[in-house]
Structure 1
Amino acid sequence: MSTPQAHQLQHAEPNNISSTASIIEAVSDSELVEKTKDMYNRPAKIDLEMNKEKLPFGEQDQVTIRELSKESTSGGGGGGGGGNSEYNSNDGAVTPHLSFWQRMKIRFPWYKIAFHIFLGCFFTSWWLSIVIQEKHRHQWLIPTVIWGMIMVRLITFYCRILNWILKYAKLVWDYATDFIYIKVLKQRYQRLLAGAAILISVVLLGTFIPAETEFSKRKDRAVSFFGCIVAVFGLFVTSKNPSKIQWNTVIGGLLMQFIVAIFVLRTKCGYDIFNFISTLARELLGFSKDGVAFLLNQEIAHFPYFFFTVLPAVAFFVAFVHIWYYFGVIQWAIRKFAFFFFWTLRVSGAEAMTAAASPFIGIGESAILIKDLMPYLTKAELHQIMTSGFSTISGAVLVGYIGLGLSPQALVSSCVMSIPASLAVSKLRYPETEIPVSSGKVMIPKCEQAESDEKNKPHNVLQAFSDGATLGLRIAGTMMIQCMCIIGLVALCNGILTWFGNYWNIHQLTLELMLSYLFYPIGFLLGTPRNEILIVTKLIAYKFIQNEYVAYNLLMTSAPYNEMSSRGKLIATYACCGFANLGSLGITLGVLNTLTNNSRTKDITSSIMSSLFCGGITTLISAAISGMVMHDLSKFIQ
């Protein structure tokens, strides 16, 4: 920057915006920030927000303030995307355009307050209309919870009393934990024994205290409880390094899994909350049927076939999620989940991020969130990431399975239960022995391909929706082709087995039949009714050999699967709610090898079978816990 220009900028009057703007065009970013701070004696960003609206709107887009440039490239400012990737200013500097939300901040500095007031008034009127009207008053719980959460959050934007409460609550908590650690439970083994005692006490009380019902006898609960013990013991015996197991993660994960099951299957509040979530999912599925009806007709849109129910729902859901990705809502939600599991279970930031994201966006998309860290993950972290993906289903296929008529509460609760359970099971089977790069941090890192990703970033919400629809088509098509090929391959294997079986007088010898008998002890340990064990294990075999859709389709449409008792159906629903199958094995290998540029192929292939095993065990533990705590099933199984 030349000396005359510096002299002009230093002596420019704050109100002479036009003269200052002409100087701005000729200076670099860093000089502009420093000189503006000196001129106004305050941060340049604050001055920009107060005075920028006086400039023509075209010049507002060309501001090269470093703070806003960082927000534009990172998709920050309350909602990602919407800005152009580059802008060539008059002095030749290449700087990012401001996003839509950043331009809103500049032109309307009070828009946040107005928007918060609008939200508060809107949701308050909505809540009052429900509480006042007699016909809606019985539905007060969920609206009250939603209204209360929104109002508390809006108040905390302007009233810091909650921060003070949390600050002193943290001090009390730190003092209490320090007292316990220093005065009461001085040794680590004492703390672990205390944690194990709490876990066992909660599980025993929650399992055996409630009264018996038709489909929940105490003897059946005892079998399910014994099945959980066998699973944990088996994982410990087969652990890669038993002496390195972090038992606080294992105990905390299993305890959280059991509490979620109790909350959903035993309490009206839990049922209402998850029923509300599942109702929204069903309605979302209905909108995809409207699209099918437009292409074909209304009658075909309601056919209970994979092509007309699951695939349109998947494509529409992916496009819908891309809208929320564009505004940064998905990233915000994942960060909150990851932060919770990071501080409660003491796992690395990468593990917490992928575990929290897997039930919502699937194993491939959740791994993409940390793709910059993928080449540097420890072996235990790779194992955990794959386990999280195998132990649950993604939100895209969830709405499709709800469309088949499965219990939405069971599916949603199983996905949530799998988040802490997958962390516990993986750390039991494959303990951490290294120091993770993301230890102590929860963040979505910036990838090495950020520049190319920025160029492909959607410029507005319509482009985001269009990109999502295109991706949804690819995902739905991939699902269709993979299902078709895998089912055909399995049919070929079954044909060969049947051909040999005819000579041995075993006329129905198939892979599913062989595995159903092999899984028979597992079906018993889940607490399945004795006369339905083989039926449930056949569904588990179908899920493992082919995929969960085949198993769920049989459960809902074919005898004797759809004729099982309510207890058997619910256990089967939980046991099949995961991607632990041979088809997902290939998908996972392809995704992770691509993200690591084939640099971690040996580590991935050496632990992927263990991850597949752990993912399956996680869903089976969820099924056993559902057998322990199920009570009134009239609302879950029709």
Structure 2
Amino acid sequence: MSTAPTPLAWRLGLFGLVAGLTATASFGSASLGPRGQAVCGLGAFLALAAGCSQNLRNVNARTIVTGILLQFLLAYSVLHVEWVKTGFEWVGGGIKKLVECSDKGAEFVFGDLAKVRGPLTNEVGAVLGGPGAFVTQQRNTGAIPFHFAFRALPPIIFISSFFSVLYYFGVLQLLVKLFARVMMYLMGTSGAETLSVSANVFMGQTEAPLIVKPFVPKMTQSELLALMASGMAHISGGMMAVYISYGADPVSILCTCVMACPCSLYLTKLVLPETETPETMGNATVVVPKVHANAIDAAAGGVKDGLMLALNVAAMLIGFLAFIALFDVILGSIKPTLIGVGLSADRLEWIPDKLSLQMIFGWLFAPVAVLIGVDPDDSRRVGTLLGIKLAANEHVAYLTLKDWTAHDPLGERSRLLAVYALTGFANFSSIGIQLGGIGAMAENRRGDLARLGMKALFIGYLATLVNAAVAGLLMAPPTTSP
């Protein structure tokens, strides 16, 4: 009789490891230091993925090991290799210029509502000797307040149009194919899944699969999960522009999006190992459907797509912020209601007077924040952001971070790691978005998409945490004043 542990025994052991590493990081942060916390976090996140694996015996070790090494290589290059960092700063500066160009169009249409007057002062963190994760923007005199609809949404429209033109000329496809070939040969993954994962660096979770649309109906379960999980681990080019308009450092956003490619892919192969033979194994063919007559038509089509995305963003924010306000009203009324029905206030001291959803998220996700290397003093607030991102979306979390940056900022390191962890579409609403978008490409896979939705959300969310932990490990620890 075999004495090998059963899958349940493996799961229990791995989950026990997760609990142990979390406790070590939470209670031993003073002795571990921020890099020690991040090491515990990486171990905990990978153990959690392995514990949720459908079949650990079928995991391809080459895919996991090379994926982790590639992720570390990308992160180290961006953070510490000067010419790579300079290249990312150049690309980030280009995105900033595109946002400024979109401002011109917005100012023409909306006038003063799209303007922010007064000289701009940037408070930039000095972590890594480079740009901070989030830039505090303040106007000294004659300030006009930041109007979300007129300042944050127009860049979505313009960036969508710009990327549509690049797609028409084949520029995006070339970049995607080059990156996909490297990952495919190093990690041993199929062409279709690797191409779609690479495309997510530039495109959204329902646009990137268009590059492999003919292959989606015949994808294996593992390939389909990689397609979905990668979409949740990234953000689109239009969303990059929005977060930059909030003051987020573009280099940090670009870095985490690039890291998310190998990370989401190897986490998928850890949770759901490949047991079938993919149709595109060893072949990375980019499919370019001709949907526009010329560059002008492509630009116009991009504007239309961007408008729909901007309206969707605005509608989602209205709905989710309203629900958060409703939950806060309900939670805040719990203690007064209990006192009103006769319970002693002394017996209810453990309930905060102003209980809120943010407070609950802070309690629940504070250990997760510690695991990515956040300063323990900031862990509850970063945990709040992580909870908001999952329950609502990353947009609401970014708006919260933007408000804190202006009034009660986090520490520089915590702010940077929060940006890494928030940059991704991993939230519950994305399951429905993917079911509608990807399902339209392959009606025969709707059932599979629905069944894999929660796994994709789990992997996408975990990938953003792993990205943050890798950055937390490679980032120079904060200096303390003598």
C-alpha deviation, 1:601, in angstroms: 2.2
Q: Structure 2 residue aligned with 1:476, among 292, 310, 324?
A: 310
Superposed, which structure 2 residues align to 1:17-56 within 5 Å?
none
What does the per-residue CA deviation read over 1:515-565, in whole Å, with 9 as the maximum and x for residues that have no partner?
321212211211211111101101111111221122122222236984211
Superposed, which structure 2 residues align to 1:129-278 within 5 Å?
219-278=33-92
Amino acid at match of 1:617: L
Amino acid at match of 2:76: I
Tell me how far apart the structure 1 counterparts of residues 394 and 353 of structure 2 sit (CA, whole Å): 26
Q: Structure 2 residue aligned with 1:631, among 468, 476, 479?
A: 476
Amino acid at match of 1:606: R
Tell me how far apart the structure 2 counterparts of residues 262 and 507 of structure 1 sit (CA, whole Å): 45
What does the per-residue CA deviation read over 1:45-96, in whole Å, with 9 as the maximum and x for residues that have no partner?
xxxxxxxxxxxxxxxxxxxxxxxxxxxxxxxxxxxxxxxxxxxxxxxxxxxx
**Distance change (3 Å), C-alpha of 1:561 and 1:260:** farther
Equivalent in the alignment of 2:413: 567
Greater relative CO, 1 or 2 (CA 8 Å, sep 6+):
2
Tell me how far apart the structure 2 counterparts of residues 609 and 339 of structure 1 sit (CA, whole Å): 29
Indicate conservation of the 8 Å contact 1:290/1:301, yes or no.
no
C-alpha deviation, 1:631, in angstroms: 2.3
Tell me how far apart the structure 2 counterparts of residues 431 and 340 of structure 1 sit (CA, whole Å): 20
Q: Structure 1 residue aligned with 2:202, among 360, 378, 383?
A: 360
Amino acid at match of 1:470: K
Q: Structure 2 residue aligned with 1:533, among 362, 376, 379?
A: 379
Q: Structure 2 residue aligned with 1:577, among 397, 410, 423?
A: 423
C-alpha deviation, 1:431, in angstroms: 0.8
Tell me how far apart the structure 2 counterparts of residues 217 and 360 of structure 1 sit (CA, whole Å): 40
C-alpha deviation, 1:217, in angstroms: 9.7
**Distance change (3 Å), C-alpha of 1:542 and 1:560:** farther
Report whether the alignment pairs 1:343 with 2:185.
yes
Equivalent in the alignment of 1:546: 392
Q: Counterpart of 1:304 in 2: which secondary structure? A: coil
What does the per-residue CA deviation read over 1:459-497, in whole Å, with 9 as the maximum and x for residues that have no partner?
222122111111111111111112212222333334333
Equivalent in the alignment of 2:166: 324
Equivalent in the alignment of 1:608: 453
C-alpha deviation, 1:429, in angstroms: 1.0
What does the per-residue CA deviation read over 1:322-342, in whole Å, with 9 as the maximum and x for residues that have no partner?
111221222222222211211
Equivalent in the alignment of 1:117: none
Tell me how far apart the structure 2 counterparts of residues 250 and 580 of structure 1 sit (CA, whole Å): 21
Report whether the alignment pairs 1:519 with 2:365.
yes
Tell me how far apart the structure 2 counterparts of residues 279 and 632 of structure 1 sit (CA, whole Å): 26
Tell me how far apart the structure 2 counterparts of residues 377 and 327 of structure 1 sit (CA, whole Å): 28
Q: Structure 2 residue aligned with 1:555, among 388, 391, 401?
A: 401
**Distance change (3 Å), C-alpha of 1:286 and 1:379:** same
Tell me how far apart the structure 2 counterparts of residues 431 and 589 of structure 1 sit (CA, whole Å): 22
What does the per-residue CA deviation read over 1:596-631, in whole Å, with 9 as the maximum and x for residues that have no partner?
12x222211212111101111111111111111112
Indicate conservation of the 8 Å contact 2:184/2:190, yes or no.
yes
**Distance change (3 Å), C-alpha of 1:234 and 1:616:** same
Superposed, which structure 2 residues align to 1:362-441 within 5 Å?
362-441=204-283
Mean Cα deviation higher: 301-310 or 623-632: 301-310
**Distance change (3 Å), C-alpha of 1:502 and 1:344:** farther
Superposed, which structure 2 residues align to 1:6-155 within 5 Å?
none
Gaps of 5+ in 2: 1-29, 117-144, 339-350
Indicate conservation of the 8 Å contact 1:338/1:442, yes or no.
yes
Tell me how far apart the structure 2 counterparts of residues 242 and 530 of structure 1 sit (CA, whole Å): 34
- TM-score normalised to structure 2 length: 0.80
**Distance change (3 Å), C-alpha of 1:554 and 1:490:** closer
Tell me how far apart the structure 2 counterparts of residues 273 and 342 of structure 1 sit (CA, whole Å): 24
Indicate conservation of the 8 Å contact 1:315/1:471, yes or no.
yes
Superposed, which structure 2 residues align to 1:583-622 within 5 Å?
583-597=429-443, 599-622=444-467
Q: Counterpart of 1:411 in 2: which secondary structure? A: helix
Equivalent in the alignment of 1:34: none
Tell me how far apart the structure 1 counterparts of residues 31 and 108 of structure 2 sit (CA, whole Å): 49
Tell me how far apart the structure 1 counterparts of residues 478 and 199 of structure 2 sit (CA, whole Å): 29
Indicate conservation of the 8 Å contact 2:113/2:150, yes or no.
no
Equivalent in the alignment of 1:306: 148
What does the per-residue CA deviation read over 1:188-228, in whole Å, with 9 as the maximum and x for residues that have no partner?
xxxxxxxxxxxxxxxxxxxxxxxxxxxx9972201111110
What does the per-residue CA deviation read over 1:335-379, in whole Å, with 9 as the maximum and x for residues that have no partner?
222112111111111110111001201110011222222111111
- TM-score normalised to structure 1 length: 0.61
**Distance change (3 Å), C-alpha of 1:298 and 1:524:** same
Equivalent in the alignment of 1:148: none
Tell me how far apart the structure 1 counterparts of residues 265 and 76 of structure 2 sit (CA, whole Å): 19
Indicate conservation of the 8 Å contact 1:425/1:614, yes or no.
yes
Tell me how far apart the structure 1 counterparts of residues 239 and 406 of structure 2 sit (CA, whole Å): 25
Indicate conservation of the 8 Å contact 2:204/2:237, yes or no.
yes
Q: Counterpart of 2:330 in 1: which secondary structure? A: helix
Equivalent in the alignment of 2:101: 287
C-alpha deviation, 1:633, in angstroms: 8.1
Amino acid at match of 1:607: L
Mean Cα deviation higher: 515-524 or 311-320: 515-524
Indicate conservation of the 8 Å contact 1:490/1:545, yes or no.
no
Equivalent in the alignment of 1:467: 301
What does the per-residue CA deviation read over 1:298-333, in whole Å, with 9 as the maximum and x for residues that have no partner?
563335332122210010011111111221222222
Q: Counterpart of 1:325 in 2: which secondary structure? A: helix
C-alpha deviation, 1:509, in angstroms: 3.3
Indicate conservation of the 8 Å contact 1:535/1:560, yes or no.
no
C-alpha deviation, 1:252, in angstroms: 1.0
C-alpha deviation, 1:248, in angstroms: 0.9
Counting matched residue pairs gives: 410
Tell me how far apart the structure 1 counterparts of residues 394 and 437 of structure 2 sit (CA, whole Å): 20
Indicate conservation of the 8 Å contact 2:106/2:151, yes or no.
no
Tell me how far apart the structure 2 counterparts of residues 375 and 584 of structure 1 sit (CA, whole Å): 20
Gaps of 5+ in 1: 1-215, 447-452
Tell me how far apart the structure 2 counterparts of residues 542 and 323 of structure 1 sit (CA, whole Å): 34
Q: Counterpart of 1:296 in 2: which secondary structure? A: helix
C-alpha deviation, 1:576, in angstroms: 0.7
Q: Counterpart of 1:527 in 2: which secondary structure? A: coil
Mean Cα deviation higher: 612-621 or 519-528: 519-528
Amino acid at match of 2:318: M
Sequence identity, in percent?
29
What does the per-residue CA deviation read over 1:70-128, in whole Å, with 9 as the maximum and x for residues that have no partner?
xxxxxxxxxxxxxxxxxxxxxxxxxxxxxxxxxxxxxxxxxxxxxxxxxxxxxxxxxxx
- CA RMSD in angstroms comes to 2.2
Amino acid at match of 1:471: D
**Distance change (3 Å), C-alpha of 1:243 and 1:385:** same
Tell me how far apart the structure 2 counterparts of residues 342 and 559 of structure 1 sit (CA, whole Å): 40
Structure of greater Rg? 1
Equivalent in the alignment of 2:13: none
Superposed, which structure 2 residues align to 1:491-502 within 5 Å?
491-502=325-336
Tell me how far apart the structure 1 counterparts of residues 477 and 401 of structure 2 sit (CA, whole Å): 21
Equivalent in the alignment of 1:488: 322
Equivalent in the alignment of 2:7: none
